[in-house]
Homo-oligomer: A and B are copies of this chain.
Amino acid sequence: MVAKVIDGRWIAKEIREDVAKQVSKVKKEYGFVPNIATVRVGSTPESDIYLNLRDKACEETGIFSCHVDLPENASEEEVVDAVKNLNEDDDVHGVLIQLPLPSHISHDTLISILHPKKDVEGLHPVNLGKTLLGEEDIVPITPLSVITILDYEKTKYEGKDVVIVNHSNIVGKPLSALFLNRNCSVCVCHVYTKDLKKYTRNADILVTAAGVPRLITKNHVKKGVFVLDVGIVKTKEGVCGDVDFSSVKEIAGKITPVPGGVGPVTVACSLKNMLKTFMKCVGEKHR
């Protein structure tokens, strides 16, 4: 048996079409569209690629995307001021902080001063706290895209053995909360894990976001597992994920490819969150 290969581009298209419908509805109702600002300090080729993809998706769905570009050598104070200005600007309905940031700028600081209602990425402590509590409101984008794919595949969660390879604040920790909220048994592994195989072989659902090409081989997985590959690394042979796709797909039940799997869904989920912050901003004004 060969795994079903998940078409992330198709799922992303469905989400984008749904967002576009809602945007045209709010445009009629309020007379304007969501206006989302991305704060960028310096730039890298990778962040430029991602930003271009997102901007294109915004354009297609009718969301207005603007950039606040600061130079690589901007002080933290200057970036903080830029975020504060966006907080106070009623014409801005959502803010993203583009990663990577220069090392002298703290991402945590920027996120914590951002108004929670404008926090498109769902990373403000109060939004993360709600995610942990099961009051999922603005959920971090990558975890949201993983759950979105599983939901599209009508996955039953209760009692499933889930393994996540990543324990970052942006992916592993909030994603673990999402699975616990759905009554899965959840293991979180990472670079310090003694015996990764011991964990991954037990997984019904395996999410990997290590950024290590071919970390997960056919020896790491159980027959029928649903593999979601969040890793994206540029190698000489092109973009590849954490999973040795050709061997793992012989054993897995379902698998997301790289590219064309989780990535496009992540972009689409960021649009969903933009619409959410918009509704919070205009909802408050019209109360």
Contacts of A169 on B, CB cut-off 8 Å? 132-134
Which of the candidate stretches A56-64, A79-87, A174-182, A209-217 sits at the interface with the other chain?
A174-182
A184 to B192, CA, bound (A): 7
Within 8 A of B (CB), among A147-191: 158-159, 161, 167, 169, 172-174, 176-177, 180, 183-190
> Residue A125 at the B interface, CB < 8 A?
yes
Q: Please give the count of copies of this chain that the complex contains.
A: 2
Residue in A184, A186, A190, A194 with the greatest tally of chain B CB atoms within 10 Å: A186
A window 82-119: CB within 8 A of B: 108
- Complex interface: chain B residues within 8 A of A126 (CB): 125-126, 129
CB-defined contacts of A174 to chain B, threshold 8 Å = 132
Identify which of A108, A127, A173, A198 gathers the most chain B CB atoms within 10 Å of its CB. A173
Residue of B whose beta carbon sits closest to that of A187:
B187
- A47 contacts the other chain (CB 8 A): no
Verify if A135 is at the interface (C-beta below 8 Å from B): yes
CB neighbours (8 Å) of A108 from chain B are 133, 135
C-alpha spacing A186/B180, complex, angstroms: 12
Contact across chains for A158 and B192 when beta carbons are under 8 A apart: yes
Q: Is A247 in the interface zone, CB < 8 Å from B?
A: no
For residue A193, which residues in chain B have a CB less than 8 angstroms away from its CB?
159, 185
Q: A108-B133, A192-B185 are in contact. Are A180 and B198 (CB under 8 A)?
A: no
User: Residue of B at shortest CB range from A191?
Assistant: B183
Whether the Cβ atoms of A202 and B192 lie closer than 8 Å is no
Q: Which residues of B contact A158 (CB under 8 A)?
A: 192
Cβ contacts under 8 Å, A177 to chain B: 132, 173
Flag whether A16 is at the interface (Cβ < 8 A): no
List the B side residues contacting A190 at CB < 8 Å.
Answer: 183, 185
The listed residue (B132, B161, B172) touching A173 by CB distance below 8 A is B132
Q: Which A positions have Cβ atoms within 8 angstroms of B?
A: 108, 124-130, 132-135, 158-159, 161, 167, 169, 172-174, 176-177, 180, 183-190, 192-194, 198-199, 202
The 7 A-B pairs with the shortest beta carbon distances in the complex, nearest first, are: A125-B129, A129-B129, A128-B129, A187-B187, A159-B192, A185-B193, A183-B192
26 pairs, CB–CB < 8 Å, chain A vs chain B: A108-B133, A108-B135, A125-B125, A125-B135, A126-B129, A127-B129, A128-B128, A129-B132, A133-B169, A133-B173, A158-B192, A159-B193, A161-B194, A167-B183, A172-B180, A176-B180, A176-B186, A180-B188, A183-B190, A185-B187, A185-B188, A185-B189, A185-B199, A186-B188, A187-B187, A187-B199
- Not counting A125-B130, A132-B174, a sample of 6 additional A-B residue pairs whose C-beta atoms are within 8 angstroms of each other reads A129-B129, A159-B192, A159-B194, A173-B177, A185-B189, A187-B199
